[in-house]
Structure 1
Amino acid sequence: MRVNQALEDGDEQTLDIAIVGGGATGVELAAELVHSVSLLNIYGLTHLTRERLKVSLVEAGPRLLPALPEGLAHRVKQKLESLGVNVITGNPAVKAGSDGLTLKNDAHIDANLMVWAAGIRAPDFLASLGLAHRKNNQLLVNEYLQSTDDPSVYALGDCAACAIDDDRFVPPRAQSAHQMAACLATNIQRELKGRAAKPFKYKDRGSLVSLSRFSAVGNLMQSKSLSMSIEGTLARYAYASLYRMHQRALHGWWKMLLIITVDKLNHAVKPRLKLH
């Protein structure tokens, strides 16, 4: 709103936003910001247009969305660039200042607002428990999701570092936390009945990424040898369906249906964009 007012007063400005991290969070945020600006004219804010919004997406790795096939990731990059997003890969941010980011090659990215969307970090208190943990505070757990130092302590989701093999850990995704929660709930019940626990085995069901109202892409997996890449309308429906499946797992069928009804009513009566 400040930039729109400045533009209305004749002060030529741009809103510069830099996002660090080219995973799903960074990509979705970049697309959503572009979409949000297109809604501002509904509220009379007609001066801050897409041309005045400068979004830069910085990824340290060689490409966006490493969880998706390279072809899909390339098309996402093309779509973001067509929306005006400045996509930078293979050049990590090394410093953040009051006027923007400095990259490894000494390039400077102007930014009024900087958003960190690279990786995850577990709560700091986990590192003070005296249990084995990674640099990002995740507790090291065995195949039963028990701390490697204390089998009476369980961890799951972003709090847990569960090895898939010698080089990889279970990725920090919603599907990982969902699978861990189901496994842990079963094992606790088995333990209470005096039965042996079952080891946790992560199954990658694929990934879906939403590009706001513009598009969506994804890769659905049934096994390591069987997968299907989707994009466009089909991927958008799959993304929405997956979201509702998580709600059903958390709340049950009836509450999920109630949430859907409330969401539909809110979509009809509430503002399309919050300005506070």
Structure 2
Amino acid sequence: MGNRIVILGAGYAGLVCALQTRKYLTASEASITLVNKHNYHQLITLLHETAVGARSDRSLRIPLDKVLADKDVQIQKGTVVKIDPSAKQVALEDGQTISYDLLVVALGSETEYFGIPGLKEHAYTLKSLNQARLLRAHVESCFARYPLERRRELLRFVVGGAGFSGIELVGEFADALPRLASEAGVPLEYVELYNVEAAPGILPGFDADLVKTAEESLKARGVRFLTGVPITQVEPGIVHLKTGDTIEAETIVWTGGVRGNQIVVDAGFETDARGRAKVNAYLESVNYEGVYILGDCALILNEQGRPYPPTAQLAWQMGAACAKYLYHDVRGGVKEEFRPNIAGAIASLGRKDAIGKIGRSFKATGKMAYLFKDASQYRYLSKIGAVFANR
């Protein structure tokens, strides 16, 4: 009987790991079970587009059965509720138990609310297709209700957090709100869009000139930035700021932070304060042999000793590297340390506008940067064999 490899999560890291592992190992050498709560892979990096209706839900769903067709990978639909690394077992919500010889944990992250009262209860988040659909339906309902209710807070939108996810969502809002206002017969000057950030500026990690370009682009489309202003409390329809001011808004979206998956913490893996599992140079848990932890679940430090930001390109590189480690676990050989190759970062600012840094020095803005982002997405879809899988 071959090794039983179980992969938890079909996100960027988990799916790439499953595909690559099967390229290296035959079915007689190892069985591969991919556990995921949905029967599709979600393009999480594009959620901001479908959240405002700029892209269809369907285009962000990659059916797992199509991607994994003829790959001899078992797809197990289910929600993981517990990992027992001592017993080498995984428990699912429906009561099933899966045993493994080698485990890959790629369950993604959870939203970090930083203990802000009311934030979890009264703000939308954007970490899944279903959440994006809920937000889109809510925003559309605000415009539909305004001519009947005439409450200005219906036309006030607040995005908390000005990192990558927050700014990309703000950019989509900036493009979509004029269209929604026109369709509802609402004067555009009644619509207000706020981006609230506790840090002194937006888009940490980007060069100052690119940040300035992004700010100018978004401000020209009506975005009101409140930087250096932490949110202290959220009540239904009210955002409280540290300045003492409040914003009455029917739509409050939080994008201000992530933490590791609680299941990883509860399993007893050694983690940092944000719940991210500590791993060795081969992405293996530091306190459980034969368990690899990938993507947003893992704490990966750069050369300066700081955590890499959780990005899709880092996740799929971890998935590809882990497949090689699994190969060596089964067949033997020397493992090479994981060294990320970050090709750059591109942040979209709405339809056909973006800023980005490719490689170490090349910078792009506007439509060119947006095309680079599209090309990066196409490259990923090609890698997993899914260019046409969701059509």
Pick one of 45, 52, 62 that aligns with 2:184. Answer: 45
State how many pairs are aligned: 251
Give runs of ≥4 in structure 1 deviating > 3 Å: 1-7
Of the structure 1 ranges 233-242 and 108-117, higher mean CA displacement relative to structure 2 is found in: 108-117
In structure 1, how many angstroms separate the alpha carbons of the residues matched to 2:305 and 2:333? 31
Distance 1:50 1:189, change over 3 A: farther
Distance 1:235 1:65, change over 3 A: same
Identity of aligned residues (%): 26
Gaps of 5+ in 1: 263-276
Q: Which residue of 1 aligns with 2:213?
A: 75
Pick one of 181, 206, 227 that aligns with 2:361. Answer: 227
Q: Which has the higher strand share?
A: 2
In structure 2, how many angstroms separate the alpha carbons of the residues matched to 1:120 and 1:159? 10
Distance 1:124 1:50, change over 3 A: farther
Do the aligned partners of 1:18 and 1:100 also contact (CA within 8 Å) in 2? Answer: no
Distance 1:247 1:114, change over 3 A: same
Deviations 1:195-247, CA, capped at 9 Å, x for gaps: 121111122211111112251110111xxxx4111001111110111111111
Q: Which residue of 2 aligns with 1:237?
A: 371
Pick one of 61, 82, 89 that aligns with 2:199. Answer: 61
Distance 1:8 1:91, change over 3 A: closer
Deviations 1:73-107, CA, capped at 9 Å, x for gaps: 11111211111111111222121122322222323
Distance 1:6 1:188, change over 3 A: closer
The reply on whether 1:246 has 2:380 as its aligned counterpart is yes
In structure 2, how many angstroms separate the alpha carbons of the residues matched to 1:246 and 1:83? 31
> Displacement, 1:164?
2.1
Q: Which residue of 2 aligns with 1:201?
A: 339
SS at 2:337 equivalent: coil
> Displacement, 1:2?
4.7
The reply on whether 1:29 has 2:193 as its aligned counterpart is no
Gaps of 5+ in 2: 1-139
In structure 2, how many angstroms separate the alpha carbons of the residues matched to 1:60 and 1:67? 15
In structure 1, how many angstroms separate the alpha carbons of the residues matched to 2:143 and 2:364? 38
TM-score when scaled to structure 2? 0.60
Q: Which residue of 2 aligns with 1:137?
A: 275
One-letter code of the match for 1:197? K
Distance 1:195 1:50, change over 3 A: farther
Do the aligned partners of 2:143 and 2:181 also contact (CA within 8 Å) in 1? Answer: no
Do the aligned partners of 1:23 and 1:66 also contact (CA within 8 Å) in 2? Answer: yes
Q: Which residue of 2 aligns with 1:18?
A: 158
The reply on whether 1:189 has 2:323 as its aligned counterpart is no
SS at 2:355 equivalent: strand
Do the aligned partners of 1:191 and 1:197 also contact (CA within 8 Å) in 2? Answer: no
In structure 1, how many angstroms separate the alpha carbons of the residues matched to 2:246 and 2:220? 22
RMSD of aligned Cα (Å): 2.1
> Displacement, 1:51?
2.2
> Displacement, 1:9?
4.1
TM-score when scaled to structure 1? 0.83
Of the structure 1 ranges 158-167 and 52-61, higher mean CA displacement relative to structure 2 is found in: 158-167
One-letter code of the match for 2:361? S
Do the aligned partners of 1:208 and 1:218 also contact (CA within 8 Å) in 2? Answer: yes
SS at 1:32 equivalent: helix
Do the aligned partners of 1:101 and 1:110 also contact (CA within 8 Å) in 2? Answer: yes
Asked which structure has the greater RCO (Cα within 8 Å, sep 6+), the reply is: 2
Report matched runs for 1:104-123 at 5 Å.
Answer: 104-123=242-261
One-letter code of the match for 1:17? F
